[in-house]
Structure 1
Amino acid sequence: MLALVPYLQGNDGVPVREVAREFGVTPKQIRDDLRLLMFTGVGEYAGELIDVDLAALEVDDVIHIRDAEFLSRPLRLTADEGVALVAALRTLRASASGSQLPIVDAALAKLETAVAAEGAVEAVDVHVADVDPAVRDTVAAALADGHRLEIDYATDSRDDVTTRQVDPQRLFTRQGHTYLEAYCLRADDVRFFRLDRVVRADDTGRRAQRHDATSRDLGDDLFEVGEQTPSAVLDLDPAAHWLTEYYTVEELGDVAGRRRVRLYGGDEAWLRRLVLRNGGTVHVVEPDALRVQVLDTARSALAAYDG
């Protein structure tokens, strides 16, 4: 459509069928695009929106447009814009399925060709956690059909698998993982489910219901902090400062050359594993119970080597 506008400006009165042939689409698609273009422009009032002569379109089957001078040439992407779109499409592809895949691949191929001359495409490398294709396709199909799902979900923090019925709302990719946002009947609230942790997904064949719970904005953190959210005050060595960018933390200042933070987690077991995984670069200040658990677990692990 960005190429269509300057083409029409340079070919005033062109027949609809000729435009459709030029762009490789149906005449109906051109008419639909023209009606959509009438709602676009540099403002919101007459003279600021693209105007199409509907009488000429419907009676004579020819196209006249005006007030489109702001878009006098086809869109040209800069290298940075092209690379950003390539990265976005490669990420989108991780959650696409079925008939969506060839559409994404076709757009991706055109973009990669367009920016290849800049030599920047090779610098784009998108890593998204692998998802069982059967699970992804079932979830995407249920979402498209408006059906309720039954899933077996593995909870990493409790080493547990639970069976839930959910009404899917959307799929999206965030921080290298594909998520399903859905209303969980077990929790009676909206929940995010990482697709790589969905062990099984079955379409129940029943219609998904509408719920009062509102969807959170993608700009929000996926992890919500409340009064009951488990947390710990930690001192971070420089090698562990990356935790402040990856997890939800409250900065408390610097103490003795270390960064002190309050870090929030799913539960105490998760916090204990986080401290242990970071090999002595994370030090527990409080609560005392967590510090004791970390010490006892570390001693037990070291004792196993002695055995």
Structure 2
Amino acid sequence: MSRSRQQVVRMLALVPYLQGNDGVPVNEVAAEFGVSPKVIRDDLRLLMYTGTGEYAGELIDFDLTALERDGIVHIRDAEFMTRPLRISAREGVALIVALRTLRASASGLELTVIDSALAKLESAVGDTVSPQVDVVLDEVDPAIHETIVEALTGAKRLELTYATASRDEQSVRDVDPRRLITEQGKLYLEAWCLKAEDLRFFRLDRIVSARVLPVDAQEHDAQPRDLSDGFFTVGEQTPFALVDLHPRAHWLTEYYQVDLLEQRDDGVWRAKLYGADWSWLRRLVLRNAGSITVISPEHLRTQVVDDARLALAAYDDSATPHKES
């Protein structure tokens, strides 16, 4: 089970447990749930943003003074968890669409749970959802999908054979899977790629084969990419750089928003590379030094050159032996 899924399951059990054990020490709660006190404290802070509304009395609350000073947990304003939740027709429709989207990327036992929830919601909402909303995703090999779900559920490492369209080649790599997501009708696996030593997205319809390895997936110090605005969102004010992508940087066209302008015979691609801001673009170019050449704008090109010179100078200084005075 993924870490985020474990947290959801734990927090769903945490509220009724605390309601029945008010004033329990946080260390005892941690021992009961098999995690550290810090994890429980983080869960409680997150639960404080949970409720039926957005105002005091509608959100779960805790006595923070008792928690921080004495390590004691007192829960308040969580009585709504003991009674059925009422949802509006609009909220019901939104949940149905979300479940149908989830169903399109689910498999195995997940389908049974989702179908059961869908049937109950559709019965409760009634004619409000007519005509039906259909969610259509590109077809994916069911065996590959099942293998990825198995690895995610068991927190195991995967061996993938992946077809990279931009280079018309296949590569074999080991990855630690993090989550399955959908974007623009396609299924993606976000995973830590041991070959690239970074987070990558793998389109499931481009995975040629997948095998669960007898190795536990590791946690890596990497922030998940914010997809609240979608994978590839470009507006009139979106910063971009005109760059030359050398063969080792062609993978960027699979992961970021890139407009290819020219593909030369020597393997260098001229492209527009979009980013959230200029500092992000500068960091991306520096991380791929030697594989990306900035053509314009001049201020970005200058920043990259200056930063690279400073980095090289630091290495030169550290390699120079200090003379004794």
The alignment's TM-score, normalised by the length of structure 1, stands at 0.53
Equivalent position of 2:259 in the other structure: 264
SS at match of 2:131: helix
Instruction: Determine if contact 1:150/1:164 at 8 Å carries over to the other structure.
Output: yes
Mark the CA change 1:94 to 1:33 in structure 2 (over 3 Å): closer, same or farther.
same
Structure-to-structure mapping, 1:208-219, within 5 angstroms: 208-219=217-228
Mark the CA change 1:131 to 1:229 in structure 2 (over 3 Å): closer, same or farther.
farther
Instruction: Determine if contact 1:142/1:148 at 8 Å carries over to the other structure.
Output: yes
Instruction: Determine if contact 2:57/2:77 at 8 Å carries over to the other structure.
Output: no
Amino acid at match of 1:173: T
Cα deviation, 1:93-142, whole Å, max 9, x if unaligned, reads 12212221111110111112222323x34241211111111111111111
- Report the Cα distance in structure 1 between the residues aligned to 2:209 and 2:160, rounded to whole angstroms: 5
Mark the CA change 1:188 to 1:67 in structure 2 (over 3 Å): closer, same or farther.
closer
Instruction: Determine if contact 1:146/1:208 at 8 Å carries over to the other structure.
Output: yes
Mark the CA change 1:121 to 1:173 in structure 2 (over 3 Å): closer, same or farther.
farther
C-alpha deviation, 1:150, in angstroms = 0.6
C-alpha deviation, 1:157, in angstroms = 2.5
Please state if 1:76 is matched with 2:87. yes
Equivalent position of 1:175 in the other structure: 184
SS at match of 1:75: coil
Equivalent position of 1:34 in the other structure: 16
SS at match of 1:117: helix
Equivalent position of 1:55 in the other structure: none
Amino acid at match of 1:110: K
Mark the CA change 1:196 to 1:133 in structure 2 (over 3 Å): closer, same or farther.
same
Mark the CA change 1:227 to 1:34 in structure 2 (over 3 Å): closer, same or farther.
same
Equivalent position of 1:185 in the other structure: 194
- Report the Cα distance in structure 2 between the residues aligned to 1:107 and 1:69, rounded to whole angstroms: 21
Cα deviation, 1:246-302, whole Å, max 9, x if unaligned, reads x95xxxxxxxxxxxxxx6249849xx9xxxxxxxxxxxxxx9xxxxxxxxxxxxxxx
- Report the Cα distance in structure 1 between the residues aligned to 2:87 and 2:144, rounded to whole angstroms: 38
Count of residues paired in the alignment: 198
SS at match of 1:113: helix
Amino acid at match of 1:204: L
The alignment's TM-score, normalised by the length of structure 2, stands at 0.50
Equivalent position of 1:147 in the other structure: 156
Equivalent position of 1:16 in the other structure: none
SS at match of 2:163: strand
C-alpha deviation, 1:34, in angstroms = 2.6
Mark the CA change 1:89 to 1:157 in structure 2 (over 3 Å): closer, same or farther.
same
Amino acid at match of 1:114: A
- Report the Cα distance in structure 2 between the residues aligned to 1:164 and 1:125, rounded to whole angstroms: 35
Runs of at least 5 residues in structure 1 that lack an aligned partner in the other structure: 1-29, 52-64, 232-246, 249-262, 273-286, 288-307
Equivalent position of 1:114 in the other structure: 124
- Report the Cα distance in structure 2 between the residues aligned to 1:90 and 1:226, rounded to whole angstroms: 36
Q: Which residue, out of 88, 95, 99, partners 1:89? A: 99
Instruction: Determine if contact 2:174/2:194 at 8 Å carries over to the other structure.
Output: yes
Cα deviation, 1:140-174, whole Å, max 9, x if unaligned, reads 11111111111111222332222111111111112
SS at match of 2:162: strand
Please state if 1:138 is matched with 2:133. no
Equivalent position of 2:249 in the other structure: none
Amino acid at match of 2:118: L
Equivalent position of 1:276 in the other structure: none
Mark the CA change 1:70 to 1:94 in structure 2 (over 3 Å): closer, same or farther.
closer
C-alpha deviation, 1:85, in angstroms = 1.5
Please state if 1:159 is matched with 2:160. no
Cα RMSD for the two superposed structures: 4.1
Greater radius of gyration (CA): 1
After the TM superposition, which segments of 4 or more aligned residues of structure 1 sit over 6 Å from their partners?
43-48, 69-73
